[in-house]
Each structure stands twice: as structure tokens, then as C-alpha cells.
Structure 1
């Protein structure tokens, strides 16, 4: 019970922060704010970080199996690459409720990230955040991660890529992250392991993005 309470409290705090970062009041006053928002099909076809893919959390199975290009982090981004889930809702109340439900359901999965160098693939060490936000845990070689934890990502690169709607309310939930990966070509595979019928509603995206910078 105490673990669930801590997760929900952390989720609510992170949602409030993410909602502020996602709103137009924080949009930079440069041309990047004028980048048109990508359609769902355009976003699903993008192969450079940051990127999103429309997925469903309801059924087990592979929801990601693709290669992508990783550029250096942006000026306002942190150094870690977040592999996670992004949700969006119309109201803060709705996004808190849905985020809390996903955290509570767990979404156990296997996540594998490999660096691609010609024909060679090298596994990248991944970590996850424990229920205590200050605790980091290395993910084992089988890629198993038991669930998601709220984790902010840097909005500037998302906005510049057309992946952040002006005034939108977003929340990111991390499955895993890679600390300071070198720019280059990578392959990602994410497999959901269990049925989660309670998570059938609402738009959900897989997201790859650099984390945010704490202020």
C-alpha cells in the first residue's frame, strides 16, 4: 500500500510539471515554436529521436521493433535517452487519473536497445527508476522491467520535431532509459508481457526522447 501511495503521489507531481511544460506558455519564442505538428501517420514514420509510435497497452506482444537514428541531445535536453510511454488528455484531472492507472497496472515488458554498426549489434545497458525516485536499477540481460514510472522529457526537441501540440497536456512514463548513449544508429525492441484490459482506452504512444533538465 505504501509503495502504491508513493507512486501515485510522485505521478501526480510529475503530471503537474509535465502539464506546465506541455502548455503554450513555455513555448520558446523562436521559429521552433512555428513547426507544424505532425499527423499520427507522419509521427509513426519518423526514424530520428525524438520519435513516437502509436501503440496499445491492452494486449501482450511486440509493440516496437525498428531501427532509428540518435542525434546528440539538444541544448535544453538532458543526456539520458528515455524509452517510455506518452499519454495525452484534455484535462489535468483526466491525465492524472489515466497516468495513475497505468502506473498501478504495471505494464511488465522486455526492453532491448542495441547500437548498430554495420552488421554488428551491441547491447546497450539500460536502467529503470525504482518506486523511490532516487533509486536506479540496472535492467538484466533479458530486458525485463516490471512497470513504468513518471519521467519528464525535454520539450524543446519534441516541439522542434512537431511532436508537441501547442497547449497539449502530456505525461511521459518511463519503461527504461540509457545513460549518455553516443549518437548513432540503434535498434529498439519492446515487448509487452501481460494482458491489461483496463488500459484499452485512450491514445497511447511509445516515445523515445532525451530527458528533461531539472531547473
Structure 2
């Protein structure tokens, strides 16, 4: 950055979260630019701000060999399509969140190690379920990558999930069920909900 000539109308400002960000400022207006100076995304955003263009940029294709490229190939695979809709949506959301880190997105997927996977788990340690969902997502992704001959070894192999300590769900007593049903009369939605659960024998995974 020190050797690059700075473009006109730019300001580099520190946020209240101690993060440095770029703004294009001219005629009292300012536009937030991508964080990394000099990247294709940064330059394209700068040109749009400079010319006043509101056209959306064409999405850049991920560079072959990067983790972002691998994720794109995975999302187009039969393995990903075969997932149950809710599972596929959850995995997709997780991958989108992971790719928000440009360093991770542009990292060569062949360089991703078990230590990187552990780091991703530790980053989510405060929410164990999120950590385990991250592990499941990475496990399925890299299992497919090995089967598709993109990799020879799976970096997730040997990584353990986070143990979640819980007392489980409280099981209502007969007295609690009777009290609930006495309070919610026939014809109300709460009464309908508990009667369905009590008398239809549905599992939580069954569609309603």
C-alpha cells in the first residue's frame, strides 16, 4: 500500500470497532468501498463512485484453486443437491458465512489443514451447535472433494465435534398437561397444538 499512489477522493478511516475502512468522498457525499485497497473489487467500486454509475458490477468468477472456487463446484454437485432442503439451506448459509472472510475465500483449498478446521470450530466455541454445524458442513464438502478427485486427503478427518452439555428437554408431567389444556379451551390454537402432539403421535421431524 505504501508504494501505491493513492487515488483521488479517498479517505482511510478508523471505525469505532478499530477497523480501517475506505471511503470515496466528493461533493459532500461518501461511498463505502471494499476493505482491501487495490483489489479488482476495490478498483471497480472506485470507478463506479468516480463516474456516478449505479450499475451493479458483474460478479467476478472465483479463481480456480481457491476455497471459494471449490465451494462453487460443490454447490453444483449431485452430493449437495441430494441433501434434504433444510439441510442444504443450512449448509449453504454456513458456507456463505465462511466465505465472507476474504482470506479464507481466496485461500488455496489444497492448503487447508486440520488446524484450519480446528480454528474454525474454536471461533464458534461460544455456540457449540454452530461449531458442530460448521464441522458437518466442512466434513461433507471435503468428503465430496476427495471423491471428486480435487483432493487426496480430507482435512476434516480426525477432528472431533464439540461436546454439548445439556440436561435435555423437560418432560411435562400429567398435571402440567392437564393444567395447560384447562387454561386453553377447545377452538384455540394453543389447545389445537398440544392436542395434535398428544393424540397424533407425530415425531418432531414429521412434516405438518
Does the alignment reach a TM-score above 0.5?
A: no
Q: Which has the higher strand share?
A: 1
Normalising by structure 1, report the TM-score: 0.22
**Bigger relative contact order (CA 8 A; separation at least 6):** 1
- Bigger Cα Rg: 2
